[in-house]
Each structure stands twice: as structure tokens, then as C-alpha cells.
A and B are shown apart, each in its own frame.
Chain A
Amino acid sequence: DIVMTQSPDSLAVSLGERATINCKSSQSVLYNSNKKNYLAWYQQKPGQPPKLFFSWSSTRESGVPGRFSGSGSGTDFTLTISALQAEDVAVYYCQQYYNSPFSFGPGTKVEIK
């Protein structure tokens, strides 16, 4: 099974500053035949279900603000918030959908400093 890890566990960033979340998979989630990374990012706010933010490592979902970006390939991935806004306070999870079981990372909590 693929194990997902994230770092840091939590981070506090000033409004308008950059936030960077890392996600690592225990084996590559890059499918060589189509060159796609089978990696998603979700945002979860308190009391709400998660919301899909990025698929295929870097494809932003409709409605996700442009200050969010996803990058990475193979086993190492990053979610970046270029200028943190108050509404970005949430827990962010990565998930691989390369092989069942489609495991999630443990989550990274983003707060305002």
C-alpha cells in the first residue's frame, strides 16, 4: 500500500504571506503511459466535508482561487498559497489515487499568525 506523509503538521502564516505544504508518497504515483501524477489536494474547513482543490497534482478545480497552486511529480508534491487570506484557514490533505487503497496524507493545518 502507498503511504502518504505531509509536512509540516501545521503552520502559521501572516496574512498576505506564502504558505507551502509538502506531500510525499512512499512510491511514485506517476503513471508513465500518460505522464499523469495521480495526486489530489483537498481543503477541509471545520464542520464541512472536504473540497477538491487540485487533481493530477496541478490541475486547479473550478472556483479555486488563483493564489493556490499545486506542483510536483513522482513522489514529492507541494501545495502553495502565494498570499494567505483569512478564508484559507483550513486543513489540507493530499491523496493518491494511483493504487487502491487510495490513501490520504495526515493533513496540514494552516492558521493565521
Chain B
Amino acid sequence: EVQLVQSGAEVKKPGDSLEISCKGSGYTFSTYWIAWVRQMPGKGLEWIGIIYPRDSKVKYSPSFQGQVAIAADKSINTAYLRWSSVLASDTAIYYCARHQSETSENCPVDIWGQGTRVTVS
């Protein structure tokens, strides 16, 4: 079964560093783009960026560039979303999702992680 399993909920204080993870299984992790999506409380979906695990090529939304870092370790089939210093406004659910077509970023995402709830207070 193809799936993405995300790390558990986090509670942080403003200024803390944070890393959440997304582990893929059931497919060749390195050759499918992985996206990160934010959903603030009661709000819609916001596209943060994507990574191609094979070579760690990353693309960010301008809205999130410099605010977060996306990384991947293909040896353990895991993608990461990192903050060096979180803000209260980072409180949200963060989803990872796999792009549908191998090697292509220009396709929809079809497999979603369960979401990681991040609370900064």
C-alpha cells in the first residue's frame, strides 16, 4: 500500500526550532515529488513547496521562501519541513502529499499524509 506517514503533533514556544517528517512507503520514494501544504485553523489549503528526493531539488512558494526549509533523506524515504524559529502564526496542520506521476511535478497530488498539527504558544 502506498502511504505517507507523518510525525506526531508538536507543541512549541515562539522562537523554538522545529522539524516535522513524512515517511513514504509502498513506492519508489526518490522519484516522486513531495509537496508540503499548510492549513491554518478553519482556513484553506496553502501550497508551501515541493521537493524531489532523488536530488533534493526544492521549489518554494514566495510566501514561504525563507520562512521554512524543505529537505529529504532518500535513504530512509523521509521528507522534512523545518523551522529555525517558529511563530504563533505557524500554528496549523501541515500535510505532506505525493505527486501523482513519477518524476513529474506538473501533476496533482494523490497520496496525502494524515497531517501534523503544530501549535505554537
Residues of A within 8 A of B (CB): 1, 38, 40, 42, 44, 49-52, 55, 61, 91, 93, 95, 97-98, 100-107
Asked if residues B113 and A104 are in contact (CB atoms below 8 Å), the reply is: no
Interface size on B, residues (CB 8 A): 26
Asked if residues B115 and A49 are in contact (CB atoms below 8 Å), the reply is: yes
Q: B44, B63, B105, B113 — which one has the most chain A CB atoms within 10 A of its CB?
A: B44
Asked if residues A1 and B44 are in contact (CB atoms below 8 Å), the reply is: no
Asked if residues A98 and B106 are in contact (CB atoms below 8 Å), the reply is: yes
Asked if residues B62 and A106 are in contact (CB atoms below 8 Å), the reply is: no
Knowing A93-B44, A93-B45, the reply to whether A100 touches B108 (Cβ < 8 A) is no
Asked if residues A40 and B105 are in contact (CB atoms below 8 Å), the reply is: no
Knowing A93-B44, A103-B47, the reply to whether A49 touches B108 (Cβ < 8 A) is no
Asked if residues A106 and B44 are in contact (CB atoms below 8 Å), the reply is: yes
Contacts of B47 in A (CB 8 A): 95, 101-104
Residues of B within 8 A of A (CB): 35, 37, 44-47, 49-50, 59-63, 95, 97, 100, 105-110, 112-115
Residue pairs across A and B with Cβ atoms less than 8 A apart, 12 shown, are A38-B106, A52-B109, A55-B100, A55-B108, A95-B47, A97-B106, A100-B59, A101-B49, A102-B35, A102-B105, A103-B47, A104-B45
